[in-house]
Amino acid sequence: MHTILQQLVNGLSLGSIYALLALGYTMVYGIIKLINFAHGDIYMLGAFWGYYVINVWHLSFWPALITAMVFCAFVGMLTEYLAYRPLRHSPRIAALITAIGVSFLLENGMSYLFGSNVRNFPQAMAVKQYHLGGVSISNIQILILAVSIVLMILLQLIVQRTKMGKAMRAVSVDPDAAQLIGINIDRTISFTFALGSSLAGAAGVMIGLYYNSIDPLMGMTPGIKAFVAAVLGGIGLIPGAAIGGFVIGLLETITQALGFSAYKDAVVYAVLIIILLVKPAGILGKNIKEKV
């Protein structure tokens, strides 16, 4: 029973990182139907930003987190402006390849500029372990969970309550109609990238603190996992991304706890395939039939 609870705690903190990343994927996909392959690398940039501001400027965790979010929002908007905007009316697969190119560029650019070695993330916060009835939980795990949940609630408020959020929803349903009623599409898409990327930046700083090590290729695998999470939950749907992230985090830790860590990823993909076969549009997705 204790081990199950323990795995639940570990799974939830890992899952919330996936969920934060998945939200970025799902928002961008919802609005321009692009699998933003470079999203995982934005998360890597967030981690590096945190690393530098804590080490060089000696900032503490909170300013590092917030500046990383701002920095990543800016990078996200920049990549959209330079690489994706020119391709907005091109075949979707061309935009996908461009996104892959951006991902390669960020990974290799960082390796070229800063070296590809793994480095230790500074301990911006002393680790404390709490024991609750045999289940141990660290202050960092609590922090990750709390920050993620707060960010998700904030995001939901922005999307549901603000004018920009309404514009985002309108563009994702029908860009042409949105333009006709006076919504600035370019600005809305920029804003979407900024939102998604800032969440990735936050996730990057937090994972640095949690795992203690960062490197230029660290975004690849979590990026793909987060995309899987977004698809699992129903891509384009914000609550779906959150659910998908938690499901994958839990699945991974549970398989590991059962002693099948070698098959961890295989289990995740197998579950994904089975869910898609039963619900082709993901857990929360509605299957829309084409009208004849």
Partner 1 sequence: MKKNLKYNLIWLAIMIAGYIIINVLEFAGIMGQFAETTLVLIGINIILATGLNLIIGFSGQFSLGHAGFMAIGAYVCALITTAIPNALGMLLGLIAGAVFSGVVALVVGIPTLRLNGDYLAIATMGVAEIIRIILNNLKITNGPAGLYNIPMLATWPVVYLLVCITTIIIVNFIHSRDGRAVMSVREDEIAAESMGVNITKWKVIAFVVGAATAAIGGALHANYIQTIAPTDFGIMESINILIIVVLGGIGSITGTFVAAVVLGLLDMILQNFGTLRMVLYSLALILIMVFKPSGLLGTWELSIRRLFTRKSKTKGDA
Q: Using the rule CB under 8 A, is 108 a contact of partner 1?
A: yes
Nearest distance from residue 277's CB to partner 1, in Å?
A: 5
Q: How many angstroms separate the CA atoms of 203 and 283, rounded?
A: 24
Q: Using the rule CB under 8 A, is 259 a contact of partner 1?
A: no
Applying CB under 8 A, among 42, 53, 155, 228 the residue interacting with partner 1 is: 228
Of residues 93 and 180, the one with the C-beta less far from partner 1: 93
Nearest distance from residue 142's CB to partner 1, in Å?
A: 32
Residue 120, H or E segment: strand 119-120
For residue 129, report the phi and psi dihedrals to the nearest 5 degrees: -105, 130
Q: Using the rule CB under 8 A, is 227 a contact of partner 1?
A: yes
Q: Using the rule CB under 8 A, is 129 a contact of partner 1?
A: no
- Return the amino acid letter for 153: I
Question: Residue 4 is encoded by which pair of tokens?
Answer: 């199950």
Q: Using the rule CB under 8 A, is 290 a contact of partner 1?
A: yes
- Which of these ranges, 63-71, 191-199, 243-251, 265-273, lies near partner 1 under the rule CB under 8 A? 265-273
Q: Using the rule CB under 8 A, is 182 a contact of partner 1?
A: no
In this structure, the number of other CB atoms found within 10 A of the CB of residue 219 comes to 30
Question: Residue 242 is encoded by which pair of tokens?
Answer: 């959150």
Q: Using the rule CB under 8 A, is 35 a contact of partner 1?
A: yes
Q: Which has the closest alpha carbon to 104: 92, 112, 115?
A: 112
Of residues 70 and 254, the one with the C-beta less far from partner 1: 254
Partnered with residue 119 across adjacent β-strands are 214
- Return the amino acid letter for 2: H
Q: Using the rule CB under 8 A, is 261 a contact of partner 1?
A: no
Q: Using the rule CB under 8 A, is 265 a contact of partner 1?
A: yes
Applying CB under 8 A, among 120, 157, 269, 286 the residue interacting with partner 1 is: 269
Give me the 78-107 binding string for partner 1, x by CB under 8 A, dash otherwise: -----x--xx--xx-xxxxxx-xxxxxx-x
Q: How many residues bind partner 1 (CB under 8 A)?
A: 44
Q: Each residue of 3-39: b (16+ CB within 10 Å) or e?
A: eeebbebbbbbbbbbbbbbbbbbbbbbbbbebbbbbb
For residue 212, report the phi and psi dihedrals to the nearest 5 degrees: 70, 0
Q: How many angstroms separate the CA atoms of 22 and 282, rounded?
A: 13
Contacting residues for 227 by C-beta, under 8 A, at least 6 apart:
22, 25, 35, 39
Q: Do residues 20 and 202 lie in contact, with contact meaning Cβ atoms separated by under 8 Å?
A: yes
Of residues 165 and 244, the one with the C-beta less far from partner 1: 244
Of residues 87 and 164, the one with the C-beta less far from partner 1: 87
- Return the amino acid letter for 4: I
Applying CB under 8 A, among 57, 62, 130, 263 the residue interacting with partner 1 is: 263
Applying CB under 8 A, among 248, 272, 283, 284 the residue interacting with partner 1 is: 272
Residues that bind partner 1 (CB under 8 A): 29, 35, 83, 86-87, 90-91, 93-98, 100-105, 107-109, 111-112, 224, 227-228, 231, 235, 262-263, 265-266, 269-270, 272-273, 276-277, 280-282, 290, 292
